[in-house]
Every structure is written in structure tokens, then in C-alpha cells.
């Protein structure tokens, strides 16, 4: 059935369509300017992401919006979305090459998704990139010959073994790096296999990000940092933020950030399956927060089981973190079973105090996310 309308409404809608079309022309104009910015940055070797410029611009537009009786958050939301588009458009022109006299780059596991992303970024920055995958080991000697950088990005469970078995004869000055999501064992394996510069990298994002702007890359120093400083600068030019960490501290964080989190999402999905939940009807009854939660759990099952198995099984210590979670779940459940509402409220308040200022901060952040979940609804 057609939606009801009136002649007056149609007239106003025609005017709104005209304004939206003007917006499109303005967007085209903005995108063209951004492309020029991309070219200038490429020439000058400046990072794609300029946080101070963004903060100043947002502050000014918010103040102007207020003057015009427009909600400041409206212009901020629009500009943030436009800036996301800018990162993609700036990327198209390529990036400044920080180290022009590097030999070629070899990506071991270059056919994997993350390897492919790094290969694309390095190629966009003027480096010659060769991929080395399962079937290429027969030619490995010639592939490694003259390499200035070797990046290992193979499944976690074979990373250390592969480094120890196959990467012991790299050119002396070649930089050896990996992209594994644990850092202790791979960095040690690289230091043992290769006497030249070594660093561990962990990109804290999946291969589907589109642009590295604002994404985090963890760096664990191995050996001879001066020799690979250019690579860190190169990654910053791509827009990423570098976080330096000790391998052990990084790995400890991953037990919670990755292993425990993904495992509990897995169990959440497993539970829906065993309970034979009707996702269609759950969605009909879902609040935005439930929808967001289902999306986060559901997206796990759209990806490779091997990838998640690798991440969850990567560190034995994760078992402790996950078992502690189970213990805490059981204890909380016993409060529920005993019907002790006061004990629950007390425990809740204790955790709230512990979250401190983060609790209201997370509430603000999640409000914007929940609103955009609602925006995405159709029909
Ligand atoms: C366009 C630029 O690049 C990025 C995108 C911006 C935008 O779209 O306005 C602003 C700052 C940068 O993070 C710039 O630096 O001016």
C-alpha cells in the first residue's frame, strides 16, 4: 500500500529533494577538494589523518551550528562520516614512500586477507611487493634475494615453526617483521632465526577496514630499531596510530581483548543455536542494544572458524582468563539462584565504582552507536 500524502506535503517534499540535490553537489565539491589534499599530502609525505585539524574544524562548525540553531551533534555526525570518506579518497592517490632505497618487500602469506591489505598499502607507497605462499617455497631463495623487508602473516599456529624452519637465511640487513596477534613467541622466534633488524607488529583491526586512518598498530621492538624506524613512519603516513608495547604486556591484554571476548561471543552463538532461538522473531522484538549485540555475535560466524580457533587457542594462559570468567558467571548465578536481590545490587554498585569515569564515557559512546543502529532500520 502506498503511504498517504497530500498536495501540500508533496510540494514540501519536492523542495526537500532540491535541497538534498544541492547537498550532493556540495559533497562532490568537498570530495574533489579532499582528493587535492590527498595529492598534496602525497607530495609532502604528510599523514592521511590530521587529528588536530579535525578537532579544530569540528569545534568551529559546532559553534557555528549553535549560532544557526542547528544541533552541534548533527554537523559533527555528518562531518565525521564525511571524514571517513576522505580517508578512502585520499588513499587512492597513493602515499609518500619513506624508504626509497629499500629492496623489495616479501609478504610470507601474502594471499591471506591481512597480507593482501599490507601488500596493497605498500604498493600504494611505491614499494615492490612479492608474495610468498605455500606453493612458492621452491623458489624462496630467489624471492628473498635482495629483500629489504620480510613480513610474516601466516596462521598463528604455524608462525613460530615457519620462522624457525624457513627464515634463517634472509639477507643480513633485511628487516624481519610479523603481523601475528600474539607477540611474545613470534618475536623471540624471529630474533633467534635472523640476526638483522626485527620487529613485531599487531594490526588491531581486520582486513576489511578500507583505510588505516585512526586504526591502531601495536609495535613490539625486537632489534635495531633505527633500521626499521622508517616502517613505523610509513605506517603513520597511512593514518594509523602506533602503540608501543612489551610483548608480554600485549599478550596479557589479548587474553581478555581477543581470546576471552571471542570465546564468549562464540558461546553466545552456540547457546542461541542450542536453544533453537528464532533469530527472525528475536530481531522483531529487539531493542537497538540487542540488535547491536546480535550483530557483533553474528558477524563472528560469517568469518573463518580457523581464524577464531587460532586466536582463541593461541595462548595457553587464555584458558585461565576464560575459566575465571566462568567462575565469575557461576558466582553471579548463585546470587540469582538464592534470590538475593540486595547482594546483586551491591555487587553491581561495586563494579560501577570500579569502572569510575569510564562508565559514563562508555554510555556516551554507546549512545551514538545505538542511534546509528536505529538509523539503519528500514521498513
Ligand atoms: C582533508 C584532510 O584530511 C583528513 C580529512 C579531513 C576532512 O575530510 O575534512 C580533515 C583532516 C584529515 O584527517 C585534511 O588534512 O585537511
User: DSSP string covering 113-124, please?
Assistant: HHHHHHHHHHHH
User: DSSP string covering 229-261, please?
Assistant: HHHHHHHHHTTPEEEE--HHHHHHHHIIIIIIH
Atom 6 (ligand 1) nearest CA: 83
By the 10 Å C-beta count (0-12 exposed, 13-18 middle, 19+ buried), 163 is classed as buried
Atom 10 (ligand 1) nearest CA: 54
> How high is the mean pLDDT in each 10-residue block of the chain (379 residues)?
90 98 98 92 89 97 98 96 90 88 94 92 96 92 96 94 96 96 96 98 91 96 98 96 97 94 97 96 89 93 92 93 96 97 98 98 92 83
C-alpha cell belonging to residue 342: 540486595
DSSP assignment, residue 155?
Answer: -
Q: Is the CB of 37 under 6 A from ligand 1?
A: yes
Q: Indicate the top mutation candidate among 26, 31, 56, 86 to test ligand 1's pocket, ranked by most ligand atoms within 8 A of CB.
A: 86
Residue with cell 557555528: 64
Burial 169-185 (b: 16+ CB within 10 A, else e): ebeeebbbbbbbbbbbb
d(CA 273, CA 224): 50
**Predicted local distance difference test score (pLDDT) of residue 45:** 87
* Atom number of ligand 1 nearest to Cα 213: 13
Q: Is the CB of 85 under 6 A from ligand 1?
A: no
C-alpha cell belonging to residue 84: 571517513
* Atom number of ligand 1 nearest to Cα 51: 13
Q: Dump strand ranges (E) for the chain.
A: 104-108, 129-132, 147-152, 175-178, 198-203, 216-223, 241-244
Q: How many CB atoms lie within 10 A of CB 237?
A: 22
Asked if 161 contacts 190 with a C-beta cutoff of 8 angstroms, the reply is no
C-alpha 88 to ligand 1 mean position (Å): 11
C-alpha 322 to ligand 1 mean position (Å): 41
C-alpha 52 to ligand 1 mean position (Å): 10
d(CA 204, CA 241): 10
Phi, psi of 37 (to 5 degrees): -60, -40
Cβ neighbours for 61, distance < 8 A, ≥ 6 positions apart: 72, 75, 76, 79
**Predicted local distance difference test score (pLDDT) of residue 331:** 97
The verdict on ipTM greater than 0.85 is yes
Choose among 328, 212, 197: nearest CA to 264. 328
Residue with cell 553474528: 298
Q: Is the CB of 233 under 6 A from ligand 1?
A: no
* Atom number of ligand 1 nearest to Cα 53: 11
**Predicted local distance difference test score (pLDDT) of residue 1:** 61
Q: Is the CB of 144 under 6 A from ligand 1?
A: no
The model's pTM is: 0.90
Atom 15 (ligand 1) nearest CA: 50
Q: Is the CB of 49 under 6 A from ligand 1?
A: yes
C-alpha cell belonging to residue 64: 557555528
Choose among 141, 168, 167: nearest CA to 154. 167
**Predicted local distance difference test score (pLDDT) of residue 206:** 87
Amino acid at each position: 500500500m502506498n503511504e498517504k500524502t497530500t498536495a501540500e506535503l508533496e510540494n514540501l517534499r519536492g523542495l526537500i529533494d532540491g535541497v538534498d540535490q544541492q547537498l550532493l553537489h556540495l559533497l562532490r565539491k568537498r570530495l574533489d577538494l579532499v582528493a587535492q589534499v590527498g595529492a598534496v599530502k602525497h607530495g609532502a609525505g604528510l599523514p592521511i589523518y590530521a587529528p588536530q585539524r579535525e578537532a579544530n574544524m569540528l569545534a568551529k562548525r559546532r559553534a557555528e551550528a549553535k549560532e544557526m540553531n542547528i544541533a552541534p551533534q548533527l554537523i559533527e555526525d555528518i562531518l565525521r562520516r564525511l571524514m571517513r570518506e576522505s580517508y578512502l579518497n585520499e588513499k587512492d592517490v597513493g602515499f609518500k614512500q619513506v624508504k626509497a632505497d629499500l629492496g623489495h618487500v616479501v609478504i610470507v602469506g601474502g594471499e591471506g586477507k591481512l597480507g593482501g591489505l599490507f601488500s596493497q598499502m605498500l604498493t600504494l607507497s611505491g614499494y615492490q611487493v612479492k608474495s610468498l605462499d605455500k606453493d612458492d617455497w621452491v623458489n624462496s631463495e630467489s624471492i628473498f634475494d635482495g629483500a629489504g623487508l620480510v613480513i610474516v602473516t601466516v596462521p598463528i599456529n604455524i608462525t613460530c615453526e615457519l620462522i624457525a624452519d624457513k627464515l634463517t637465511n634472509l639477507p643480513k640487513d633485511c628487516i624481519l617483521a610479523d603481523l601475528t596477534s600474539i607477540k611474545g613467541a613470534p618475536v623471540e622466534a624471529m630474533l633467534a632465526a635472523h640476526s638483522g633488524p626485527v620487529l613485531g607488529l599487531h594490526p588491531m583491526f581486520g582486513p576489511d577496514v578500507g583505510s588505516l586512518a585512526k586504526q591502531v598498530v601495536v609495535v613490539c621492538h625486537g632489534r635495531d630499531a633505527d633500521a626499521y624506524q622508517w616502517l613505523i613512519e610509513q605506517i603513520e603516513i597511512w593514518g594509523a596510530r602506533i602503540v608501543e608495547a612489551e610483548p608480554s604486556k600485549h599478550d596479557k591484554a589479548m587474553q581478555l581483548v581477543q581470546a576471552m571476548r571471542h570465546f564468549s561471543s562464540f558461546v553466545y552463538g552456540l547457546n542461541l543455536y542450542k536453544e533453537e532461538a528464532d533469530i527472525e522473531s528475536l530481531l522483531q522484538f529487539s531493542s537497538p542494544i540487542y540488535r547491536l549485540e546480535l550483530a557483533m555475535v553474528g558477524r563472528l560466524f560469517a568469518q573463518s572458524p580457523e581464524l577464531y580457533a587460532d586466536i582463541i587457542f593461541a595462548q595457553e594462559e587464555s584458558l585461565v582468563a576464560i575459566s575465571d570468567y566462568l567462575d565469575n558467571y557461576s558466582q553471579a548465578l548463585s546470587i540469582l539462584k538464592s534470590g538475593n536481590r540486595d547482594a546483586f545490587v551491591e555487587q553491581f554498585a561495586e563494579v560501577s565504582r570500579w569502572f569510575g569515569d569510564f562508565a559514563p564515557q562508555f554510555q556516551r559512546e554507546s549512545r551514538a552507536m545505538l542511534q546509528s543502529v536505529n538509523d539503519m532500520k528500514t521498513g
